[in-house]
Structure 1
Amino acid sequence: MKLIGSLASPYVRKVRVVLAEKKLDYQFELENVWAEDTIISQWNPLGKVPSLIMEDGTVMIDSRVMVEYLDTLTPVCKLLPPNGRDRADVKCWEALADGMVDAAVSVRLERTMRPPEQQSEEWMARQMRKVHLSMKSLSEKLGEQAYCAGIHYSLADVAVGCALGWLAFRFPEITWRDDYANLARLYDKLSERPSFKDTAPQ
């Protein structure tokens, strides 16, 4: 397998963490989708990373699709329950973490890709409200549990950890560590895992 991505993307990091946890071999190829000479569209018509090129040459897109598939490839470190409500709950954690990042990414793009006179403060405030409400919800859902889905490390933790890591990287002004001590404890614990250490955004 070959993973096309960047070193900063939280969506790419999520897939890289899962690949590491599952002990799967792959090639990692860097691609800057914002560069004028990007060739990302040859793999993904949406122009996004990550893109996962399979052994038969077909391409898988969307990190949520990828990680669900990768979890089926080996019994090592099962990250998703086999079925039912427990599986849906883990996927809901992932959806909330990814959605929080989606909102923050839109703010970053507004700030960095548009001239100041064209930026919408109202739009950015709307997106940042989503970020803060999502973080509050994640903290409330986590409570005093050891991990997001209870006592076991799962894809929920991978998604939340990658989201928090990206916010710390791109939005250091957001004081989530001070505001949500339980999220800070979870992130610090996840950061000790080799899969997280080796994929820190840069």
Structure 2
Amino acid sequence: MKLIGSVTSPYVRKVRVVLAEKKLDYVFELENVWSPDTKISASNPLGKVPCLVMEDGSAMYDSRVIAEYLDTLTPVCKLLPANSRDRANVKVWEALADGVADAAVLAYLERTQRPAELQSPAWIERQMGKVRAGLQVMSDNLGEQPFCMGIHYTLADVAVGCMLGWLLLRFPAIAWRDEHPNLARLFDKLSERQSFKDTVPVVPA
């Protein structure tokens, strides 16, 4: 398998963490989708990463689709429960974490990709409002549990950890660690896992 992606994307990191936890071999191909000469559309017509290219040349995209598929390939470190209700709850956590990332990415792009005179403060605030609301709900739902789903490490934790790591990278001024100490404890615990250590997002030199 070949994973096309970037080292900063929280969605790509989520898939990389899953691959590591499942102990699956793959080739990681770096791709900058914002570059004029990007070739991502040859594999994903939506022009997004991550994109997983299979041995037969077919491609799979959207991190949620890829992560769910990868979890079926080996029984090592099952990240999605078999129980339908628990499985749905994990997917809700993942959707919430990805939604917070979606909103933060939109705000970041507005601030960094558009000329200052064309930026919309109202648009940025709308997106950041989603980020704050999402973090609050995650904190409320986590409570004092060791993991998002209680005592079991799941894809929910992977998604939340990757999103929080991206916020630290791109929005260091957001004081989510102080405002939500339980999320900070979860993030610190996840950061000790080898899969997270090996995929820490860094801005390329």
Is the structural similarity TM-score above 0.5?
yes
Q: Which residue of 1 aligns with 2:159?
A: 159
Q: Within 2, Cα distance between the matches of 1:31 and 1:15?
A: 15
1:2 and 2:2 equivalent?
A: yes
Q: Within 2, Cα distance between the matches of 1:83 and 1:186?
A: 24
Partner amino acid, structure 2, of 1:47? G
Q: Within 1, Cα distance between the matches of 2:64 and 2:139?
A: 22
SS in 1 for 2:165: helix
Q: Which residue of 2 aligns with 1:106?
A: 106
Q: Which residue of 2 aligns with 1:95?
A: 95
Trace 1:42-121 onto structure 2 (pairs within 5 A).
Answer: 42-121=42-121
Cα-to-partner distance string for 1:102-128 (whole Å, 9 max, x where unaligned):
000000110111101100000100000
What is the aligned residue count? 202
Q: Within 2, Cα distance between the matches of 1:176 and 1:71?
A: 30
Q: Which residue of 1 aligns with 2:127?
A: 127
Q: Within 1, Cα distance between the matches of 2:154 and 2:55?
A: 26
Partner amino acid, structure 1, of 2:76? V
Q: Within 2, Cα distance between the matches of 1:54 and 1:46?
A: 18
SS in 2 for 1:32: coil
TM-score (norm 2): 0.98
Q: Which residue of 2 aligns with 1:147?
A: 147
Cα-to-partner distance string for 1:107-162 (whole Å, 9 max, x where unaligned):
01101111011000001000000000000000000000010011000000000000
Q: Which residue of 1 aligns with 2:37?
A: 37
- 1:83 CA drift (Å): 3.5
Q: Within 1, Cα distance between the matches of 2:57 and 2:36?
A: 25
- 1:82 CA drift (Å): 1.2
- 1:84 CA drift (Å): 1.0
Ranges in structure 1 where 5+ consecutive residues have no aligned partner: none
Q: Within 2, Cα distance between the matches of 1:187 and 1:83?
A: 26
Partner amino acid, structure 1, of 2:125? A
Partner amino acid, structure 2, of 1:19? L
TM-score (norm 1): 0.99
Cα-to-partner distance string for 1:162-181 (whole Å, 9 max, x where unaligned):
00000011000000001100
Partner amino acid, structure 2, of 1:89? N
Q: Within 2, Cα distance between the matches of 1:197 and 1:37?
A: 31
Identical columns (%):
72
Q: Within 1, Cα distance between the matches of 2:83 and 2:57?
A: 29
SS in 1 for 2:52: strand
Q: Within 2, Cα distance between the matches of 1:109 and 1:46?
A: 18
What is the RMSD of the two structures over their aligned residues, measured on CA atoms? 0.4
